């Protein structure tokens, strides 16, 4: 399938006014996604929320088909959540951990996930083992095998870290989890929408993601995948009339599908828009998207490397994602974000508190994070690098 850059930019009107390299934070919504969300909100305004939901039931339910197709999952393995952290929390807290159970975590684990595990260590008595890695941040599977014991119950991984361009070996971890009988929890916030993500090929048991990043959906939307064979032994930490049926005064019955992790009240417009975002990505083609992002990000890395004072902080081996992190000598990352924003250039900062296991170990306080998408252009890369070069020159004169 041929990539139509002009159409993608027409579908993203703000491309004409801003340079958006903050797609790992929140992408710019394409017009079709924005339109279906606004149309539904207008319907709610015109006829009432319950009535709008009844009239739009098919569009709301299309979310499950869209994400089953996007992730190569079954319909009853998909749930809608208001964000990825909520999806991760409700699923992980449904795992029947016992005191003394051990979990494996990679050093690139997202901060909110690790905080959730710290809480589980306090209230359920689980133990956290950090996976051994090599100098490049890649998982050392040989050493990893040596730390697995009879009490090791689960393995946690972030597909693409928020603080570097690394792409973790999710399929290999899936095979490792299968061999050792581990529950495999994958955070796919930065990968879904950026590349093909196939839960069957990966072999994960739980996968969570968000709408706002590379999927280009609205904020306040997320999704959850839970493998059917795991559902029976996973009781959500809280339930409502969406998750369960109240069968008698003193009893209830959980749903037998992944909707047991949902809440009845949700952002219906967001669910419809997130389904549209998934279809929009699939219409372009996930392989096409991945190739385009790789082309744009590699060009950005190459040009940044040629700027005096810039140090790229990439990790991992092989292909890199659309996330490019770097330091600029003499400038704080947060200051750079503000200075660029004044020029209508959007980036973000990755700080040590966002990825302490990784950044603290490397002695890094903060990084500039420039994250590109398929709608970004070579002209934008050149404009961005010119702005960075100017900041460096100003810093040198101070």
pLDDT one-digit tens code per residue, 7-62: 999 999 999 999 999 999 999 999 999 999 999 999 999 999 999 999 999 999 99
Average pLDDT value for residue range 305-321? 90
Q: Final residue of a domain: which of 283, 318, 352?
A: 283
Range of the domain at 161: 32-283
Q: In what order do the strands lie in the sheet with 206-210?
A: 78-81, 222-226, 206-210, 183-187, 152-158, 102-105, 127-130
pLDDT value of position 318: 78
Shortest CA distance to 259 belongs to which of 389, 120, 68?
68
Same domain, 278 and 295: no
**Residue 398 banded pLDDT, cuts 50, 70, 90:** low
What span, in angstroms and rounded, lies between the C-alpha atoms of 213 and 205? Answer: 22
pLDDT value of position 251: 97
Same domain, 108 and 253: yes
Same domain, 261 and 296: no
Assess contact for 315 and 137: CB atoms under 8 A. yes
Same domain, 248 and 330: no
User: By percentage, how much of the chain surpasses pLDDT 90?
Assistant: 94
Examine the pLDDT at 397 and tell me if it is beyond 70: no
**Cα Rg for the chain, rounded, in angstroms?**
22
pTM of the model: 0.96
Same domain, 307 and 356: yes
Taking only the tens place, the pLDDT of each residue in 271-302 is 999 999 999 999 999 999 999 999 999 999 99
Number of domains forming the structure of the chain:
2
Q: Final residue of a domain: which of 283, 307, 341?
A: 283
Same domain, 279 and 387: no
Q: Final residue of a domain: which of 222, 252, 283?
A: 283
Helices 286-305, 268-284: inter-axial angle, 10-degree rounding = 80
What CATH number does residue 333 fall under? Answer: 3.90.1150.10
DSSP 341: H
Same domain, 24 and 89: no
Same domain, 215 and 300: no
DSSP 219: S
Examine the pLDDT at 67 and tell me if it is beyond 70: yes
pLDDT value of position 296: 98
Same domain, 293 and 229: no
Average pLDDT value for residue range 205-231? 98
Same domain, 54 and 181: yes
Cα angle 102-201-88, degrees, rounded to a multiple of 5: 45
Shortest CA distance to 196 belongs to which of 310, 97, 281?
281
Same domain, 325 and 260: no
User: By percentage, how much of the chain surpasses pLDDT 70?
Assistant: 99
What CATH number does residue 156 fall under? Answer: 3.40.640.10
Are β-strands 222-226 and 78-81 bridged in parallel, bridged antiparallel, or unpaired?
antiparallel
**Residue 394 banded pLDDT, cuts 50, 70, 90:** confident
Q: What is the mean pLDDT of the chain?
A: 96
pLDDT value of position 119: 97
DSSP E strands, the chain = 19-20, 78-81, 102-105, 127-130, 152-158, 183-187, 206-210, 222-226, 244-248, 251-254, 310-312, 323-328, 345-346, 348-351, 366-371
Same domain, 160 and 292: no
Q: Output phi, psi for 346, to 5 deg.
A: -100, 120
Taking only the tens place, the pLDDT of each residue in 104-150 is 999 999 999 999 999 999 999 999 999 999 888 889 999 999 999 99
């Amino acid at each position: 399938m041929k990539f139509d850059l002009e159409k993608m930019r027409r579908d993203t009107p703000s491309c004409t006014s801003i340079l958006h390299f903050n797609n790992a934070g929140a992408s710019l919504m394409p017009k079709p996604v924005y339109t279906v969300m606004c149309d539904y909100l207008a319907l709610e305004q015109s006829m009432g929320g319950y009535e709008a939901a009844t009239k739009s039931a098919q569009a709301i339910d299309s979310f499950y088909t869209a994400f089953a197709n996007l992730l190569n999952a079954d319909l009853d393995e998909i749930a809608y959540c208001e964000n990825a952290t909520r999806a991760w929390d409700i699923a992980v807290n449904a795992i029947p951990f016992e005191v003394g159970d051990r979990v494996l975590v990679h050093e690139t684990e997202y901060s909110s996930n690790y905080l959730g595990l710290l809480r589980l260590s306090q209230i359920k008595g689980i133990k956290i083992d950090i996976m051994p890695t090599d100098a490049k941040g890649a998982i050392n599977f040989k050493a990893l095998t040596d730390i697995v014991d009879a009490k090791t119950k689960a393995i946690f991984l972030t597909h693409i870290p928020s603080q570097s361009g690394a792409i973790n070996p999710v399929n290999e971890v899936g095979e490792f989890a299968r061999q050792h009988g581990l529950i495999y929890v994958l955070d796919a916030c930065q990968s879904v929408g950026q590349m093909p993500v196939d839960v069957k090929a990966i072999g994960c048991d739980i996968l969570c993601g968000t709408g706002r990043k590379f999927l280009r959906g609205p904020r306040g939307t997320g999704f959850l995948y839970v493998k059917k064979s795991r559902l029976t032994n996973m009781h959500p930490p809280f339930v409502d009339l969406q998750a369960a049926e109240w069968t008698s005064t003193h009893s209830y019955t959980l749903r037998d599908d992944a909707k047991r992790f949902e809440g009845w009240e949700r952002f219906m417009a967001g669910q419809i828009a997130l389904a549209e975002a998934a279809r929009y990505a699939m219409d372009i083609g996930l392989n096409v998207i991945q190739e385009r992002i790789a082309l744009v990000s590699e060009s950005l890395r190459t040009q940044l490397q040629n700027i005096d004072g810039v140090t790229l902080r990439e990790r991992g081996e092989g292909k890199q994602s659309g996330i490019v992190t770097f330091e600029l000598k003499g400038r704080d990352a947060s200051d750079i974000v503000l200075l660029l924003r004044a020029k209508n250039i959007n980036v973000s900062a990755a700080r040590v508190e966002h990825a302490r296991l990784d950044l603290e170990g490397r002695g890094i306080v903060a990084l500039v994070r420039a994250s590109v998408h398929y709608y970004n252009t070579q002209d934008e890369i050149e404009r961005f690098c010119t702005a960075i070069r100017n900041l460096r020159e100003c810093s040198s004169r101070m």
